[in-house]
Amino acid sequence: MDESASAQESPITPANLLTYSRLVLLPIVIAGVATHHGYLAVGAMAVLLVTDLLDGRIARLMGQAGSFGKTLDSTVDFVLIYSLFIALYASGRIATYQFAFLYLSMLTILSLQFALSAVGRSGELPTTADKPSTALGKATGALQYGYLLFVLAREVTPKARALAVADIIFFVVLAVAIVLNSAECIVRVCRMTARSREGAPPS
């Protein structure tokens, strides 16, 4: 392995440090939610989103984009998104039916990953955070982060019926995106497992 290839797989790069920083910001967002400090939660969430926008661009700009960084980014996004949804539900910010749907989507992703692991294809799951993998992957990931920020922003905005209606519309759009993206993931996983059983190379 040459020096450039080694650098691409290094776990400590400016881009990866930005990705790691989201794990530092996560408990700050949760603390803001739990203690009803809306501005703290919104501020930390805004910084978190900026790091998500910058890490991939910095990695590509510095020639350090590699499989480790992509996997790290996807894993951290998954942990963040569903940890925050759990925190929002536990604090009464989202309804039970919303949480049930989101939790089922998380279990679907995990079940698909286990299915791939069973045939030796672990790490190839096209999740919502793994942006290039599915047609709606990038949009679904953006909608998840956008909805989280919207719910948090309601903590620091005046109560209004229009916001409650907007919340429902936003969630419906997110739910449709998740269903369509999950369906594509299921189809791809079925194809990958079938090829693995047949001994064919992945497409």
Q: When comparing pLDDT for 133 and 110, which is higher?
A: 110
At 47-103, the pLDDT tens digits run 999 998 888 889 888 887 778 888 888 889 989 999 999 999 999 999 999 999 999
The enclosing domain of 83 has a CATH number of: 1.20.120
Name the band, by pLDDT with cuts 50, 70 and 90, for residue 27: very high
Q: How many structural domains is the chain composed of? A: 1
- pLDDT at position 2 is 45
Mean pLDDT of the chain, nearest integer: 82
Question: How far is Cα 51 from Cα 24, in angstroms, rounded to an integer?
Answer: 12
At 5, the pLDDT band (50, 70, 90 cuts) reads very low
Is 173 part of any domain?
A: yes
69: in domain? yes
Mean per-residue pLDDT, 180-187: 84
The whole-angstrom separation of Cα 145 and Cα 117 is 27
Residue 177's pLDDT is what?
Answer: 92
Query: By residue range, what is the domain housing residue 101?
Result: 3-198
- Is 203 inside a domain boundary? no
Q: 19 is written with which tokens?
A: 């990705």
**Closest by CA position to 25, among listed 92, 84, 90, 99:** 84
Query: Is 93 inside a domain boundary?
Result: yes
Residue 126 or residue 11, greater confidence: 11
Choose the weakest-confidence range: 5-14, 65-74, 153-162, 194-203: 194-203
Confidence of residue 144 (pLDDT cuts 50, 70, 90): very high
pLDDT of residue 160: 86
**% pLDDT > 70, the chain:** 81
How big is the chain, counted in residues? 203
CB 155 within 8 A of CB 42: yes
Residue 46 has pLDDT above 90, yes or no: yes
pLDDT at residue number 120: 56
